[in-house]
Amino acid sequence: MASLDTKRLSLAFPSRPDLVQQIQAAAAQSPAHTQLFNDISSYVCDQFLADNTSEPAQKRRRVDGGDEAAHQTNGTALPARQAATAAAAATAATKKANGSAGAASDDLSAAAAEPVLLEVKDISVSIPQRKKYDLCFTEHYLYARTANTTAPVPGIVYAWRDIEHVFYLPVPEKAQVQYNYILFPRGAALAALSKPPSSAAPTTAAPTPPPPPAAEPLVFTVGAGAPKPGSIGGPSAGLAASVSDSYATLFHWAIEGQLRAVQNVYLADKSTVIVAADPKAFHSAARQPFRPAEKAVHVRAFRGSKDGYLFFLPTGILWAFKKPLLFLPLDRIVAVSYTNVLQRTFNIVVEVDVGGSEGGAAGGENDDDSNGNEEIEFGMLDQEDYNGISEMYVQRHRLQDRSMAERRKAKRELVENARGEKAGAGGDGDGSDGANDTNGANGDAAHGGGQEDDGLTELQRAEQQLQDEEDEGEEDYDPGSDGDSNGSGSSSEEEDEDGDEEDEDEEGGD
């Protein structure tokens, strides 16, 4: 039985000691795979050796410098690599395997083979891995690498052609102004919602293997100021100096330039490549605790047990910054509804079409909708933000509001729950009557029955109705009654009056 070559394994993955430890543990549990691990380590080492010895680094830098001078006259954002290298990379790209591991390995090798055009050091990456890295721009790839190394970090390699969405958003609840860049690769926006294809229908054809999982989005944070001196390197550092007044101008220039240079099909027809939040289009009514003078463009919410933030953007709704990130494009949103409406919070449910997404249940059954729709619920939104979400976003973008039934039910539950806490000994009659009254009022409100000009929202009307019913209950309360909710106090008074009249008649008869 072969033993694990730990020395070669460490050389193959110098920047991933955690991966080395996992491989060692796996080899200890399954000695039969030891030879496989040794072969993988040898292959990776041989690839890195071939890449590093195929062309001297100084020669590559001189060639890249010549390309830079040529492309400055053409107006290209970053200098292109040599034609021969580009052809080799294109050939390698066409031979990518269908499996996720094979595709990631090919991207890793291809990115490592390309010369770095621009390098920005000491950037805080939070997803996929929370650590400071150097971000490297090549003609076809964006990747991260640890300081003082030359190899890309596995799992943080992105092909420019595969980037589908790019966002630039302020980091919430920070005393110091910071911004996050979020890059979604192809298929990652709805990856957390995609369901496996249905296997209920029998077929005689060979089973199709499931598609590989989408790569995780890239999220990195930059400050509002300018990059530190010496933090920008690479052949394009001279070009970048003119746009390095801030991290935002630097990264906007580099990212947009590379996406347009490779003719990215997802962003080619969009006037704005990097989408940012606009406080004029949407902002939260709640004040920020650290920067109260600045309007917040996010809404705090929960998805299950995870707290995070909702950004209502011109192109869709983004849930961040807890894994898994989720972006719901406007053209995928089927409807919006509001549930669990309480005095201070409410929930929002977004119905999304996932039938056509990668890995989705196209043409099959799923738990929510036979047409491939799925509902995502975000909870505990502050009620102050209801008007902003409903009027500034849902109505402006003409999204279908299916919350009428849910809203009536939520308001009825609000009334019944509040009354149930005070009912105690007997409130079934009043509770049912209150529910019926609430249904009637809600029905009128839903159809605009005389309440369009009162200046109140649906939620405010529900609260006002609850207060009115509580006031009526206090007025009808009779301390001498036996607690019957169906008018027992008034019945007792009538019996007493009848008794007094009978006594007077008897006295008159005497």
Per-residue model confidence as pLDDT tens digits over 341-370: 999 999 999 999 987 544 333 333 334 444
Confidence of residue 195 (pLDDT cuts 50, 70, 90): low
14 vs 224, more confident: 224
Domains and CATH numbers, the chain: 100-196+215-276 (2.30.29.30), 298-401 (2.30.29.30), 410-477 (no CATH)
Find the Cα–Cα–Cα–Cα dihedral 342, 343, 344, 347, rounded to 10°. Answer: 20
Average pLDDT score over residue span 269-284: 91
Residue-wise DSSP of 143-163: EEE-TT--SPPTT-EEEGGGE
Question: What's the pLDDT score for residue 338?
Answer: 94
The 3-class secondary structure across 159-203, one letter per residue, is EHHHEEEEEEEECCCCCCCEEEEEEEECCCCCCCCCCCCCCCCCC
pLDDT in tens, 385-398: 999 999 999 999 99
> Does the pLDDT value for residue 443 go beyond 90?
no
Confidence of residue 107 (pLDDT cuts 50, 70, 90): confident
433 vs 34, more confident: 34
Confidence of residue 213 (pLDDT cuts 50, 70, 90): low
Question: What's the pLDDT score for residue 31?
Answer: 84
In 3-state terms, what secondary structure has residue 135?
strand
Mean of all residue pLDDT scores within the chain = 75
> Does the pLDDT value for residue 35 go beyond 70?
yes
Phi and psi at 92, nearest 5°, equal -65, -35
| CA quadruple 382, 387, 393, 397: dihedral sign | positive
pLDDT in tens, 51-98: 554 444 444 444 444 444 434 434 445 544 434 444 444 444 444 434
349 vs 12, more confident: 349
* Residue tagged 């039969």 (tokens): 32
Q: Six-digit token pair at 486?
A: 């169906």
Question: What's the pLDDT score for residue 59?
Answer: 42
pLDDT in tens, 109-130: 999 999 999 999 999 999 999 9
| Range among 177-181, 213-217, 493-497 with highest mean pLDDT value | 177-181
Question: What's the pLDDT score for residue 354?
Answer: 85
Question: What's the pLDDT score for residue 33?
Answer: 84
Instruction: Flag whether the pTM goes above 0.85.
Output: no
Residue 15 burial (C-beta neighbours within 10 Å; 0-12, 13-18, 19+): middle
